[in-house]
Amino acid sequence: MNKIILAVIASLVLVSFGNYSFAQYDDKLVVLETNLGDLVIEFFPDDAPNHVANFINLTESGFYDGVLFHRIIPGFMIQGGDPNTINGDPNTWGTGGPSTNVNAEFNTIKHNRGIVSMARSQDPNSGGSQFFIVHGDSNFLDEQYTVFGRIVTEESFVTLDKIASVDTKNKGVKDNPVDPEQVRITKATVVNRSEIPNLLELQEPERTESPTITSLGNQKYESPEHEIGFSVPEGWLLQTPNKTDFNSPDVVAVGPKTGIMNPVISLTVQETGQRTLDDLISEKLETLKPVVEAGNLKISSQEKTSVNGYEAYVTDAQGYFSSNGENFNVRFKEVMIYDTEKFYTLAYSNGLGDFNSQLPRFEETLDSFEILSKNKPNDTSTEGGGCLIATATFGSELAPQVQQLREIRDNTILSTESGTAFMSGFNQFYYSFSPIIADLERENPIFKEAVKISITPMLSSLSILNFVDINSETDMLSYGIGIILMNVGMYFAVPAIIIYKIRK
C-alpha cells in the first residue's frame, strides 16, 4: 500500500464507511515464526471462507504458539497444528485439535508446492486445527482436502525446504522430527498485508477443471456484547477485527472478489453520548467536508429516513483512490441507525462497476438488523433469512426495479404520516412470514422462480409511483389506495372471476 492510500485512509479515519473499504489492499496474512525461518501465509476466502476464518481465529487466540510440525515427508508435505505437540506424549501427536470441527470446503485449487491445506481424518468434515504445507506438487489430493491458503515470500519457501529436510524418525509411519525444537512454531501472528515486505508476485492458483458451486444463502450473526443481530451473505468471510479507535468497525464481512476489489459490509457500534440524530448528522457533514473539498470523495445523496422502524441517515458516496499506479473508483453506501444510547453504522462498499451486483445482499443485511436487547418499534425481528422479495429477485432482471422501489419507500412513502403508518403495519404482517419463504427460496431454485413470477405483477404496479408526484398526505392516500385496489383486483378478483367462469 503506497503513501497515497495511507493518506486517503487517514483523511477518512472518522468516516465509518471508509474504514474497512480497503480490506482488499490490507487483508489479513498469518506469519508462523520457527527456528528455521518464517512462513507467511495468504488466504483464499472465496474458496474456503470457514477454514480461513477458523485459521485466523485460532492464530489470534494463540492456539498455534508452541506447536510443532510433527509430521515431515520431504517431497510431499510438512504437517503441524496439533496442540498435543506442545508438551504432550509423542504417541498422541497427530490426534489433537480444538473442540469444534470445520465442515469440508473442497475446491478446485490444486495441491501444488507452497499450498496450505487442512488435514483431516477419513471423515471429510473432521478438519480442526491441523494443516499441512505442500512441499512437492501432490495433485492426487486435489478436491479431497480443503485448500485455504499458500505461502507468499521467498523466505517462506526457503523455510519450507529447511523444515522438509530435517532428520525424522519412524519414517513411513509417523515421520516425527528427531529434534522437535528445530520445527516448533514459536509464535503465530495475524498481520496486515502491508506489513510484509518483499511479497512474491504470484499468479492465481492453478485449478482443476471441475466447477465449484457457490451458495447464495445467508449466515446469521449475533453479538451479545453489542446486543445486535443481523445476517450477512453466506460464503463471505465474517470477522470481528480488533477495534483500534472508536470509529473502527466492530464486524466486517468480506465477499468474493469479482471486479477491482472485494465487496465489504461492515458494522460500527458507537455511543450516542446523549447526542441527537441531528447532532450526529452535523458531525458527519463536518467530517466529510475536507475530504470532499480535497476531491477524494463525491457525495451522491444524503437523507434522513427510517430503517426497520428506527430513525436513520443514509449517505451514498463515491471515492477515487490510487494504489501501485492504478486508479480505483469505489462506491459506498452508509446507513446510520439511531437509538437512544447507541447508533449503529452499516456500510457497504464495492467497485463502481460492481456496486449494484451486491447491493441487494446489503439490503437484506439491512432488513435483518435487530437490536436484541429490545423489541424494535415495528418489531420485525425474525430468526430467519430476511426479505422474500429481495431474495426472489436477487441477480435477476428485477433487482434494479426492487432497488428503485426501496428508494421510493425510503424517500417518498416514509416521508408522509399515512405512508409511515401503513409501512409500520405492513412490516409487522410481512415479516411474520417473509423469512420462512426467503429460506425456502434459497433452498429450492424452482420455488424461487415461482415466487419471482408471482410477485412480478405487484412490482410492476408499484413502479407506477416512479412516474407520479406525491407532495401531500392526500396524494399519498389516493395513489396508495389506488395501487392497493389494483393489486386486490390482480391477485383476488381476476382469479375468482376465472375460477367462476371455468366452473360455470
The model's pLDDT over 35-51, given as tens digits with 9 standing for 90+, comes to 999 999 999 999 999 99
Residue in 104, 100, 113 with CA at minimum distance from that of residue 152: 113
Angle (CA) 398 467 411, round 5°: 75
Give the cell for residue 270: 458507537
Residue labelled with grid coordinates 429450492: 444
**What does the pLDDT read at residue 8?**
32
272-331: per-residue pLDDT in tens?
888 888 889 998 888 888 888 888 888 988 888 888 878 899 999 998 776 555 677 889
- What is the set of domains in the chain, with CATH numbers? 25-195 (2.40.100.10), 214-381 (3.40.1000.10), 387-504 (no CATH)
Supply the mean pLDDT for the chain.
Answer: 80
More confident residue, 215 or 345: 345
Angle (CA) 95 62 168, round 5°: 45
141-170: per-residue pLDDT in tens?
888 899 999 999 999 999 999 999 999 876
Predicted confidence band at 66 (pLDDT cuts at 50, 70, 90)? very high
Q: What percent of the chain has pLDDT over 90?
A: 32
Q: Given a cut of 60, is residue 496 above it in pLDDT? A: yes
Quick one: average pLDDT of 180-190?
95
Strand boundaries in 308-433, DSSP class E: 310-323, 326-338, 342-351, 370-371
Residue in 105, 84, 99 with CA at minimum distance from that of residue 149: 105
**What does the pLDDT read at residue 415?**
66
**What does the pLDDT read at residue 410?**
60
Angle (CA) 250 251 255, round 5°: 150
DSSP 8-state class, residue 220? E
**What does the pLDDT read at residue 473?**
76
More confident residue, 186 or 384: 186
Buried b / exposed e along 88-116 (16+ C-beta atoms within 10 A): eeeeebbebbbeebbebbbbbbbbbbbbb
405-444: per-residue pLDDT in tens?
766 776 677 667 777 777 767 766 776 777 778 778 767 8
Residue labelled with grid coordinates 471508509: 18
Show Cβ contacts of residue 34 under 8 Å, excluding neighbours closer than 6 positions: 69, 159, 163, 182, 183, 184, 185, 186
**What does the pLDDT read at residue 3?**
32
| 394 phi/psi in degrees, rounded to 5 | -60, 130
Quick one: average pLDDT of 471-499?
79
**Sheet of strand 370-371: strand arrangement:** 218-223, 228-233, 370-371
Q: Given a cut of 60, is residue 26 above it in pLDDT? A: no
Give the cell for residue 446: 424452482
Strand boundaries in 308-452, DSSP class E: 310-323, 326-338, 342-351, 370-371
More confident residue, 22 or 317: 317
The burial class, CB within 10 Å (0-12 / 13-18 / 19+), for 254 is: buried
Residue in 165, 117, 163, 107 with CA at minimum distance from that of residue 137: 117
The burial class, CB within 10 Å (0-12 / 13-18 / 19+), for 8 is: buried
Quick one: average pLDDT of 389-402?
70
Predicted confidence band at 449 (pLDDT cuts at 50, 70, 90)? confident
Give the cell for residue 347: 456500510
Residue labelled with grid coordinates 422474500: 388
d(CA 102, CA 120): 10
d(CA 439, CA 364): 12
More confident residue, 470 or 135: 135
**What does the pLDDT read at residue 403?**
64
Instruction: With H, G, I as helix, E, B as strand and everything else as coil, classify residue 467.
Output: helix
Q: Given a cut of 80, is residue 244 above it in pLDDT? A: no
Greatest CA separation for the chain: 91
Show Cβ contacts of residue 481 under 8 Å, excluding neighbours closer than 6 positions: none
Quick one: average pLDDT of 91-111?
91
Pairing of strands 37-43, 147-151: antiparallel
Give the cell for residue 218: 445467508
Give the cell for residue 432: 411474520
For residues 218, 221, 227, 228, the Cα torsion angle rounded to the nearest 10 degrees is: -30
Residue in 345, 331, 44 with CA at minimum distance from that of residue 206: 44
Predicted confidence band at 237 (pLDDT cuts at 50, 70, 90)? confident
